[in-house]
Amino acid sequence: MTSRHIEFVSLGYTGNDYLCLVPEIIFDGKVQMSDYVVQGGGPAGGAANAAARLGVPTAFLGMVGDDGEGDRILADFKAEGIDTSAMMVVKGGHSAVAKCIITPDAKRTVVWRRHSHIYDPALLPTDMISGCRILHFDGHHTEAAIAAAELAARTPSVLRCLDAGTVVPGVEKLLELCDVVIASEMFARKWTGEEDLDAALRKLDNGRKVTGVTMGSLGSMCVSQGKRFRLPCFNPGRIIDTTGAGDSYHGAFEVKYSETGDVPLSMAFAAVFAALKCRSIGARAGQPSRAETEAALAGWNWKELLQ
């Protein structure tokens, strides 16, 4: 186990993204790509990478196989300074991969393969979890996530956060156990049965510290202590690829909120961080530094746009 104090622990899905830029998506034919990149992806993986880019000591808990894909996943994390000492490496298992096809207007088609095994709750690094500042989940490895959240709940200083992207068995327990829950549009609508996102947000809110919904190009909404906030996206200029923008938002929001307790500021900081990521292809390569994020935030009139 690492001797470095870990402040951000992320448990969930990670894999390798194979991304190609194409002029159009066609069926039963061929099209020449203009760019091709392989880099790490996955919701919890992207959030962990965001925290590390922001200078927060970070660890990732998840599963890889002992295949070439797994070797690359581990190497990418280590290159970012992310601790992987408690990851589960399965002999004969296969790692997760995704194939992403991206058009010039930043629209995407993604096909993916899940990891072969589920993270064993017995492998949870209890001291790391109890001693961290932020514990992040994406709903994958649900049994281990619930066990980790229950463990962290004994330490009030640990902020338990859920990126609610997909409705999976057991997610209702994670919703109960987390201090910060920010859902995707799809999750919010499916979980609440409300098509209107304002109504869905009200149903999702159970009085926890923060409940939110990310709305893609329309920005994000959050409720905290009965107060509702809505903020549009930040415009970084040219957008190349939105892959992983939501993952970046979650990591950046959680870091800023844990530092300040200021929900609108954290929304603005996360919006800038996620938007700057979109200037590059892939989920992680374009994630900015803290200094770059703060500089862009300082030049944005977000307080005037806040509703």
What digits encode the pLDDT tens for the residues 224-275?
A: 999 999 999 999 998 999 999 999 999 999 999 999 999 999 999 999 999 9
Q: Strands 227-231 and 220-224: what pairing?
A: antiparallel
CATH number of this structure's domain 8-24+33-305: 3.40.1190.20
Sheet holding 227-231, edge to edge: 58-61, 8-11, 134-137, 159-164, 180-184, 210-214, 220-224, 227-231
Classify burial at 168, counting beta carbons within 10 Å of its beta carbon; exposed 0-12, middle 13-18, buried 19 or more: middle
What digits encode the pLDDT tens for the residues 104-134?
A: 888 889 999 999 999 999 999 999 999 999 9
* Virtual torsion, Cα 192, 111, 52, 124, nearest 10 deg: 70
Mean pLDDT of the chain: 95
Closest by Cα among 115, 129, 138 to 83: 129
Strand ranges (E), the chain:
8-11, 15-21, 35-41, 58-61, 63-65, 88-90, 96-102, 108-113, 134-137, 159-164, 180-184, 210-214, 220-224, 227-231
User: What are the residue boundaries of the structural domains of the chain, listed by start?
Assistant: 8-24+33-305
Q: Can you tell me the distance from the alpha carbon of 229 to that of 86, in angstroms, rounded to the nearest whole number?
A: 37
- DSSP output for 238-253: S----TTHHHHHHHHH
Q: Which residues of the chain have pLDDT under 50?
A: 1
Q: Can you tell me the distance from the alpha carbon of 143 to that of 120, in angstroms, rounded to the nearest whole number?
A: 8
Phi, psi of 206 (to 5 degrees): -120, 20
What pLDDT score does 1 carry? 43
What pLDDT score does 167 carry? 94
Chain centroid, CA 161 distance in Å: 10
pTM of this prediction exceeds 0.85:
yes
